[in-house]
């Protein structure tokens, strides 16, 4: 979940993907999240089955509470992401309004997953290392503690990439995505139909088209930080 979810988060942030179509990146983003969700469900079921087979109580630790909460909220995040951002039914205004919430919740879930992993490996060490004990810092403990530090560094790097403006996909690459069907970025098609009109009409049309374009770019900028 840590590795695949992090890949889904930064898929829009990689400069070599900015020349790809927005729709393609949406499908890749959604596909990675779907894979991560399937793996999370399979592993959660495996944990419950293992606990039941070994007569270990379920859902007693903070690790299990936060882990199950992360899986539940991640499934809701994935469902709403499909409905609002992938399917072509939600209006642009709704997408722009929900995008900040979508981004924040995605990053929060990722940070929660990192915290769950850290608590899980610590809990496993305490239970598994008896002779020698975890408190005596055997090589196994040192190795897993280093793994925990690497998880923290990795999570911080992903969150940094997802929050820096200069890593954001340029809005000019995607401004046309938010325009109504049949519209144009500069209004050239509409102007060609007004060829016989007055210069004043053409000027007003240009001003109107430019205002609409700026509005769509603003909406697109609000929606470019998608991490799903």
Per-residue tokens: 133: 């004990």
- pLDDT at residue 214, as a whole number: 53
Which alpha helices (H) appear in 129-198, and where do they start and end? 139-163, 188-193
- The band of 146, judged by pLDDT with boundaries at 50, 70 and 90, is very high
d(CA 1, CA 9): 12
- pLDDT at residue 121, as a whole number: 94
Q: Is the pLDDT of residue 33 over 50?
A: yes
User: Stretch 93-109: mean pLDDT, rounded?
Assistant: 94
- C-alpha triplet 98, 179, 96: angle, nearest 5°: 10
Q: Of residues 133 and 191, which shows the higher confidence score?
A: 133
User: Stretch 113-138: mean pLDDT, rounded?
Assistant: 92
d(CA 33, CA 15): 20
Q: Is the pLDDT of residue 187 over 70?
A: no
Per-residue tokens: 151: 């998880």
* Number of residues that this document lists for the chain: 228
d(CA 94, CA 96): 5
Domain at 1-168, CATH class: mainly alpha
Please report, for residues 26, 129, 197, 205, the alpha-carbon distance to residue 217 in angstroms, rounded to integers and kept in the order given: 18, 56, 28, 18
- The band of 15, judged by pLDDT with boundaries at 50, 70 and 90, is confident
CB neighbour list of residue 96: distance below 8 Å, 6 or more residues apart: 219, 222, 223
Q: Of residues 163 and 149, which shows the higher confidence score?
A: 149
Q: Is the pLDDT of residue 41 over 60?
A: yes
- The band of 38, judged by pLDDT with boundaries at 50, 70 and 90, is very high
User: Any bridge partners for residue 130, and if so which?
Assistant: 133
Domain boundaries along the sequence of the chain: 1-168
Q: Is the pLDDT of residue 217 over 80?
A: no
User: Stretch 36-55: mean pLDDT, rounded?
Assistant: 95
Least confident of 17-31, 110-124, 177-191: 177-191
> What distance separates the 2 farthest-apart alpha carbons in the chain?
91
- pLDDT at residue 228, as a whole number: 40
Of 103, 108, 110, 109, the C-alpha closest to 221 is 103
Q: Work out the burial of residue 143: count CB atoms within 10 Å of its CB; fewer than 13 is exposed, 13-18 middle, 19 or more buried.
A: exposed
């Amino acid at each position: 979940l840590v590795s695949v979810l992090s890949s889904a988060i930064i898929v829009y942030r990689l400069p070599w993907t900015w020349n790809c179509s927005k729709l393609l990146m949406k499908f890749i983003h959604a596909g990675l999240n779907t894979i991560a969700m399937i793996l999370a469900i399979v592993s959660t079921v495996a944990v419950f089955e293992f606990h039941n087979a070994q007569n270990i109580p379920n859902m007693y630790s903070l690790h299990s509470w936060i882990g199950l909460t992360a899986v539940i909220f991640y499934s809701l995040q994935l469902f709403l992401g499909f409905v609002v951002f992938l399917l072509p039914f939600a209006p642009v205004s709704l997408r722009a309004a929900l995008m900040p919430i979508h981004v924040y919740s995605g990053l929060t879930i990722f940070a929660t997953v990192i915290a769950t992993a850290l608590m899980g490996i610590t809990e496993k060490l305490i239970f598994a290392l008896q002779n020698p004990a975890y408190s005596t810092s055997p090589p196994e403990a040192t190795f897993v503690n280093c793994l925990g530090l690497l998880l923290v560094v990795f999570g911080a790097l992903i969150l940094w990439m997802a929050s820096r403006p200069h890593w954001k996909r340029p809005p000019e690459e995607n401004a046309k995505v938010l325009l109504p069907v049949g519209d144009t970025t500069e209004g050239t098609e509409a102007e060609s139909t007004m060829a016989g009109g007055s210069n004043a009409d053409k000027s007003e049309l240009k001003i109107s088209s430019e205002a609409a374009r700026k509005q769509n770019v603003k909406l697109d900028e609000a929606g470019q930080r998608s991490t799903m």
